[in-house]
Amino acid sequence: MALQIIPFQAGINTCYILRDQGAILVDGGWPGCARKFSELLASHGMKPDEIALIIPTHGDFDHAGGAKELKELTGAKVVMHEKDKDNLEKARFHWPEGVTTWGKISRTLMMPLVKKVGAFEGTRVDVVLDDRGMSLKEYGIDGEILYTPGHTYGSISVILASGDAFVGCLAHNRMPFVGRPKLPIYAKDIDLLKESWVKVINKGAQTIWPGHGKSFPLDKILKYLN
C-alpha cells in the first residue's frame, strides 16, 4: 500500500492519519472529537482498531484533549515525551506564552473562553519517550518520532522517509494565528524551537504538515529561521 495522509479536522486543529503497512494518528485532537473521527475512518473504509498509535505532538489541550476518547475508540497506544505527559495524564490545561505582539494579545483576550472549552479528561500515556525519540517501522510506517522542543519542552514531530514532516506547533498556517506559514505565535522558548527546526531540516523534511492549517513546502518557513 502506498502511503496515505488523511487530514482530520478537529476544531481549529488538523490531525493526521498516516496509513501504509500500518496506521497511526498524529495529534490527539480537540475534546469531543471521537464521533467525527469515527465517521472519517468509515469514509475511508477503515476500522478504529487499525490505528495502532496516537501521537499528540505536545501536551496542550487542543492537541491532546481528545486522546482519551480516541484511545477508547481505537484501542491504540498513546505516545508522548516525558516532559509533556503529565499534562495529558493529569488533564492539565496548558497554553504557552505569546512570543509575538498578536500572540500576547490574543492569549490574554481568549484565555477565559479557551479555558472553558479546553477542559478534557486525562488518560495514561502508554509509551513515554525521552530525547532520543523512536522509530515507527514496527508500526508499518517508514519514519520516526523526533524530539523537537520549543513550543513546549516536550514537543515532538513525526518525520517520514518520504520527506513529509508533521510538526504540531513548530509552525502555524491558519487564522486566527497567522495568515501564512510562519513560526508559532506561542512558545516556551522560541530559540529552542528554531534549533528544533534544524533537526527537522537535517532529517530531510520537504513538506510541512502543521497542527494548525494546510501543508506547505519547507522553503516557506526558512526565512523565519535566519
Is the pLDDT reported for residue 135 higher than 80? yes
Closest by Cα among 174, 187, 184, 159 to 215: 174
53-67 average pLDDT score: 97
> Which pLDDT score is estimated for 226?
79
| Percent of the chain residues past pLDDT 90, beyond the cut | 95
Average pLDDT over residues 88-113: 96
Mean pLDDT of 151-159: 98
- Whether the pLDDT of residue 223 is over 80: the answer is yes
How does residue 95 score in pLDDT terms, banded at 50, 70 and 90?
very high
Q: How far apart are CA 177 and CA 101, in angstroms?
A: 11
**Confidence check: pLDDT of 1 > 90:** no
Domains of the chain (ranges; CATH) run 4-218 (3.60.15.10)
pLDDT of residue 83: 98
What's the mean per-residue pLDDT of the chain? 97
pLDDT tens digits, 174-204: 999 999 999 999 999 999 999 999 999 999 9
- Residues linked to residue 160 through DSSP beta bridges, in sequence order: 143
| Confidence (pLDDT) at 11 | 84
The residues, ordered by sequence, that sit 6+ positions from 1 with a Cβ below 8 Å of its Cβ are 19, 20, 21
Q: Is the pLDDT of residue 86 over 80?
A: yes
d(CA 96, CA 84): 12
Q: What percent of the chain has pLDDT over 70?
A: 100
Q: Confidence class of residue 161 from pLDDT cuts 50, 70 and 90?
A: very high
